[in-house]
Each structure stands twice: as C-alpha cells, then as structure tokens.
Amino acid sequence: MDSLDRKIIAALRVNGRATYADLGRSVGLSASSVHERVGKLEAAGVITGYHAVVNPSAVGLGVTALVGIQPTDTAEDDDVAEALSQLDEVESCYAVAGDEAFVVKVRVSTVDDLERALSRLRRIAGVARTRTTVVLSTRFEGRANNASLDSPSVNSGA
C-alpha cells in the first residue's frame, strides 16, 4: 500500500461509485492502473465492499438504540452472537470488554417495535439482561478517519 492506494481508498470512501476514469484523474494515473490497484485492494481484503447509504427515516427506520447485552454465567458468546445476527433489527454487533458481552445497534420504526425487539433480545438463550440507550439524534456516522490514510500504515492485518 503506497500513497496512491491511500488516495484511491480515500476517494472511494467519499464516493463509492466513482469511475476508474474519475479516480485516475484525481490521483494522476490511467484508468487501467487504477482498475488494477483497486482489484488488488479488494483481493487483499483492504476494501471489503461498496454500499449505498440510505436515510433510515426514509425507509421507515426512525428509531435507533444502542443495547448492551449482559450474558448469563453459562452463556457461549458465539451462540449469542449468532442469535443476535438472526434478528433483522440488529444492524451492528460488537463484542466488548466489561460486564456486558455485546453492544448492539438496533434500528426499528417505532418505540413499539423497539419494545418488541428488546423482548426478542432478552429471550435469546444466554442473555441475562439488556441495557438500552435510546438515540435521540445521529450527529454523524461512519465517517472516514483520514488520519490513517495520511501516513503509511504499519499494521497490515487485513
């Protein structure tokens, strides 16, 4: 990964639909070179995908909550995570340090749906308690950290 790769990545984080020709113009390479580099970045697992971002309210998901999951004494983390992944409302799932095993992000339409989702979460085997933090507004989300792209990365743990 050199500085050109980092520039290409930064550009694709801003606009995931940028054409190779566009990218080439902005980094000073031919479209075919960019194509080659992007292919390698994808193959190396540096770029893991491209996704359209949708306004959650516009698709009827106006309610967001962060939920800490406290496990029972005998809970198997992997089983709990698997069960969490089965629930459509759970958008993200982080295994965390502390007395909670996971923190998940839940998105639903209404507070009624939130209530139902929480009761579903609590019924998962291995879940002892949940602690819910309701999101009042999303100030920003999923922003690129460009600090990491300005300087060569030491850690290539792809």
Partner DNA sequence: TTTGAAACTTTTATGTA
Partner DNA sequence: TACATAAAAGTTTCAAA
Q: Scanning residues 87 to 126, which ones bind a copy of itself (CB under 8 A)?
A: 88-98, 100, 102-103, 107, 109
Q: What angle do CA 67, 70, 73 make, to 5 degrees?
A: 165
Q: Is residue 33 a contact point for DNA (CB under 7 A)?
A: yes
Residue 21 binding target from DNA, a copy of itself, none, CB below 5 to 8 Å by type: DNA
Among 28, 73, 74, 142, interactor with a copy of itself by CB under 8 A? 142
Contact 104, 67 (CB under 8 A): yes
Residues 6+ apart with CB under 8 A from 81: 93, 95, 102
Is 87 in a helix, a strand, or coil? coil
Alpha-carbon distance values, 110 to 6, 9, 86, 115, 150 (Å): 40, 37, 20, 9, 41
Closer to a copy of itself by CB, 55 or 74: give it: 55
Q: Is residue 46 a contact point for DNA (CB under 7 A)?
A: no
Q: Is residue 30 a contact point for DNA (CB under 7 A)?
A: yes
Residue 111 binding target from a copy of itself, DNA, none, CB below 5 to 8 Å by type: none
Beta 63-71 vs 102-108: how paired, if at all? antiparallel
Binding pattern for the stretch 41-60 against a copy of itself, x by CB under 8 A and - elsewhere: ---xxxxxxxxxxxx-xxxx
- Which residues of the chain form contacts with DNA (CB under 7 A)? 4, 19-22, 29-33, 35-37, 40
